[in-house]
Amino acid sequence: MSSLTIVIPAHNEEANIVPVFSAISRVMQTCEGIDWNILFVDDGSTDSTIQCIKTLAEKESHVQFIEFSRNFGKETATTAGLHHATGDAAIVMDADLQHPPELIPIFIEKWKNGADMVIGVRESNTGEGLIKKIGSFAFNRLMITISETKMIQRETDYRLVSRPVLDAFQQFTERGRMTRGLLNWLGFHRDTVPFTAAARENGVASYSPAKLVQLAINYFLSHSLFPLKIAGYLGMLISITAGPTLCFMMIDRYLLGDPWHFKFSGPAILAVLNLSLIGIVLTCLGLVALYIGTIHRESMNRPLYVIRAKNV
Ligand code: UDP
Ligand code: MG
C-alpha cells in the first residue's frame, strides 16, 4: 500500500473546494492500493474558502488543511503543502479544476513505472486570453534557451513528485522562489503526461498579469545569469570593434599623416574614442556581474548535490 498526498493551494476558491474534492475522490476510488489524502493550503483567502475546507474536513477523513495567516502567494502555498506532505508521493494541483483529476491514475502509473517526477504538459488552454498565451509561450521559449535549469515546453505546476524529490525539496532555503523551477533544478527521472486545461470552473483567476511578470522575473533571476552577463558581452563587442578603429584613426592621422586621405575629423575621432571607453566600462560591468553572480549563487544556498539513490 503506498500513500499519496494531493496538495492544493487555494486562494478565494470557495465555490471550487467541494467540486474538486468530489472529482478527486471519484477518481481515487478507482485506484486500488493507494492510501490518499488531500492537503488544502488556504493562502489567506478573503472569502469563505477556509470555512468550506474545515466543514469538509470534519466530514471527510481524507481532507487535511493548512491555513495561512495572510496571502503569501501560490508558490509559497505550494511549498508549504510539499513540506507537510506525508505521502510516498505528492501531486500538486490547482483548486479550480483546470488540472483534470482524471489524470491522477496515469500519474500514479508512471510513478510506479519508475519516474521520480511526473509532469503535466499542457497541450492547449481553453478560455485563456491571447496575451497570456503569447506571454507564457515567450517566457517558456526564453527560459528553455537561456536557463541553466532544464525545463520542458508548456510544462505546468500539475505534477507528481516522489518521496526522494520531496525530501530534497526541503533543503531549499531561497525565498523568491518558483516551486516548479526548483523541482526542475533537482533533476531526477522525469516523465510527462499531456493534458488539455479546462476553463476555470468557478471564480476568477487571481494571477494578474503583473503578478505573472513578477513570477517570470523571479524565475529568470534565480535560474539564469544571462541578464547579468549581457552588459559584459555588449561591452566586449563594442571594445573589439571601436578599439582597433580608434587605433587605426589615430595612427593614420597623427603618425602617418593621412597617406590615404581618409580625412578623419576631430569629432569623429572623439566619437570613436568615446565609444571605446564605453566599451571598456561595460566590459568591467560584466566582470563585476560575474562576482555578483557568485554572491547570488552563494546566497541562494542551494544544496551542493542531490542524491537519487545510494547504498552506504
Ligand atoms: N492561488 C494561491 N494563491 C494566490 C493565487 C492563486 O494559492 O495568491 C491558487 C489558486 O487558488 C489556484 C492556483 O493557485 O488553486 C492557480 O491560480 P489561478 O487559477 O488564479 O492561476 P492560473 O490558472 O491562471 O495559473
Ligand atoms: Mg487557474
Residue nearest to atom 13 of ligand 1 (CA): 94
Q: Report the nearest-CA residue for atom 19 of ligand 1.
A: 205
At residue 23, the 3 state secondary structure works out as helix
Q: Let me know if residue 23 belongs to a domain.
A: yes
Identify whether residues 274 and 164 lie together within a single domain: no
Number of domains in the chain: 2
Q: What percent helix, strand, coil does the chain show, rounded to 5?
A: 50, 15, 35
**Cα 240 to averaged position of ligand 1 atoms, centre (Å):** 48
The cell for 28 is 481515487
Beta bridge partners of 7: 39, 92
Q: Do residues 75 and 184 share a domain?
A: yes
Mean pLDDT across 266-271: 92
Same domain, 160 and 231: no
Distance CA 140, CA 12 (A): 27
- 108 and 167 assigned to the same domain: yes
- The beta-strand segments (E) located in the chain are 2-10, 34-42, 63-67, 89-92, 117-125, 155-162, 190-197
- Dihedral of CA atoms 192, 78, 175, 139 in degrees, nearest 10, equals 40
Question: Looking at the predicted structure, is the pLDDT value of residue 125 above 70?
Answer: no
Distance of CA 277 to the CA centre of its chain: 38
Q: Which of 16, 52, 96 is the best mutation target for the ligand 1 pocket, counting ligand atoms within 8 Å of the beta carbon and taking the most?
A: 96
Q: 29 and 62 share a domain? A: yes
Q: For residue 79, what is the enclosing H or E element?
A: helix 74-84
Tell me phi and psi for residue 68, to 5 degrees. Answer: -80, 155
CA dist 21 and 16 (Å) reads 8
Q: Indicate whether 177 and 283 sit together in one domain.
A: no
Give the distance (Å) from ligand 1 centre to CA of residue 4: 22
Q: Which residue's C-alpha comes closest to atom 9 of ligand 1?
A: 10
pLDDT score of 128: 67
Higher pLDDT, residue 111 or 212: 111
What is the per-residue pLDDT for 91?
Answer: 95
Q: What is the pLDDT of residue 85?
A: 94
| Residues 200 and 260 both lie in one domain | no
Ligand 1 center–CA 28 separation, angstroms: 23
For ligand 1, atom 16, which residue shows the shortest CA distance? 94
Strand, helix or coil at 145?
helix
pLDDT at 127: 61
Domain assignment present for 309:
no
155-204: per-residue pLDDT in tens?
A: 889 999 999 999 999 999 888 888 888 999 998 999 999 988 777 777 77
Q: Are 118 and 190 in contact (CB under 8 A)?
A: yes
* 126 has pLDDT over 70: no
Grid coordinates representing 45? 483567502
118 forms beta bridges with: 160, 191
Task: Report which DSSP code applies to 130.
Answer: H
Q: What is the CATH number of the domain that holds 178?
A: 3.90.550.10
Rounded to the nearest whole angstrom, what is the distance from the C-alpha of residue 123 to the centroid of ligand 2? 15
Between 219 and 125, the higher pLDDT residue:
219
Nearest CA to ligand 1 atom 25: 207
Residues in the chain: 312
- 250 and 162 assigned to the same domain: no
- How far, in Å, from the CA of 169 to the mean position of ligand 2? 24
Residues with CB under 6 A from ligand 1: 9-11, 13, 43, 71, 73-74, 77, 94-96, 98, 200, 205-207
End position of a domain, from candidates 173, 206, 239: 206
Instruction: Name the residue among 63, 57, 66 with its Cα closest to residue 9.
Output: 66
Which residues lie below 8 Å from residue 241, measured CB to CB, with a gap of 6+?
279
Q: For residue 211, tell me if it sits in a domain.
A: no
Q: Does 311 map to a domain?
A: no
Residues 27 and 158 in one domain: yes
Specify whether the CB–CB gap between 48 and 12 falls below 8 A: no
Is there a domain that residue 189 lies in?
Answer: yes
Which atom of ligand 1 lies closest to the CA of 207? 20
Q: Specify the 3-state DSSP secondary structure of 88.
A: coil
Atom 2 in ligand 1: which residue has the minimum CA distance? 74
Asked if residue 138 is part of any domain, the answer here is no
Measured from the Cα of 71, ligand 1's closest atom is 8
The whole domain housing 259 covers: 226-300
Residues 6+ positions from 163 with CB-CB distance below 8 Å: 87, 88, 89
Closest-lying ligand 1 atom to the alpha carbon of residue 206: 20
Domain assignment present for 262: yes
- Same-domain check for residues 193 and 268: no
Measured in Å, residue 200 CA sits from the centre of ligand 2 at: 6
pLDDT surpassing 90 at residue 80: yes
DSSP 3-state assignment of 66? Answer: strand
CB distance 109 to 117 below 8 Å? no
Ligand 1 geometric centre to CA of 211 (Å)? 11
170/295 same-domain check: no
Q: In the predicted model, is pLDDT for residue 292 greater than 70?
A: yes
Residue 169 lies in a domain: yes
Mean pLDDT to the nearest integer, 53-65: 92
Same domain, 38 and 158: yes
State the cell numbers at 66: 493548512
What's residue 216's pLDDT? 80
